[in-house]
Amino acid sequence: MFEAKFKLRHRGCWTCGLSRFKSDFVTHVTVSLTPDFVQDVTEVSLACQEEAVLIKEYFDGNGVVVRFNVLEENEKKLFLQVFTDTSSIGSVVHTILKNKCFVPKRVPLVDGWEVWCVASYDKGFIRRAIEEIKILGDFELMYLKRSTFDGFNLSQQQEMVIKAALELGYYRWPRGISVKELARRLRLNKATVLEHLRKAEIKVVSRDFGV
């Protein structure tokens, strides 16, 4: 499995204009309904309650947004379902799917940039998708590397150690096994096990918190 991460300032898309707001935006679900029609479910962490009104006005007046629905709203969050006409701006998710790739993670929207992760079993498929996406706006490739299927990028040793720790109760309370006993069962020294656990835990936690 291979994974690429890139930033795109998608020319003409509603995502470019989000830099005017102080609130934080992240798209959890992005679906290509047709080659020219995309649905996004985007979470907004509101910087202040007043921005909720301004954000809804922004979507209501955006030329490429066919319609949007407020799925949930409270004083801290907005969940928006956004339908976009991509006939004039191009669809990132359609390009990704067409090239036999998939999106393994949510898409943060930071200062007008879309931050995408794309995965595939073939590096060539990712490269072809990237070449097509580059022409959609300002583009910055952050990395292209071998990855694990679940997106955690664990090495074989890290995956083996953390799975054994889970199965043997290391993360239960009280713990079902000590590091010393875990190391003995894995036929590794204690320091090596602790290093693998620490690095694996950082990768797992960092992915879910978008680091």
Quick: pLDDT tens for 100-139.
998 988 999 999 999 999 988 899 999 999 999 999 999 9
pLDDT score of 149 more than 60 = no
Which amino acid is residue 52, in one-letter code?
A
Spans of all domains in the chain: 2-146, 156-208
**SS3 state at 121:** coil
Over pLDDT 90: what percentage of the chain? 75
Other Cβ atoms less than 10 A from the Cβ of 101: the count is 23
Residue that wins the pLDDT comparison between 156 and 20: 20
Strand arrangement of the beta sheet that strand 65-73 belongs to: 65-73, 77-85, 37-45, 24-34, 107-110, 113-120, 2-10, 137-146
- End-to-end CA, the chain: 21
pTM: 0.73
Query: Does the pLDDT value for residue 205 go beyond 80?
Result: no
More confident residue, 148 or 83: 83
List, for residues 19-68, the tens digit of each pLDDT value.
999 999 999 999 988 889 999 999 999 999 999 999 999 999 999 999 99
- In 49-183, which ranges are E strands? 65-73, 77-85, 107-110, 113-120, 137-146
Q: What is the pLDDT of residue 12?
A: 95
Report the pLDDT value the prediction gives residue 34, as an integer from 0 to 100: 87
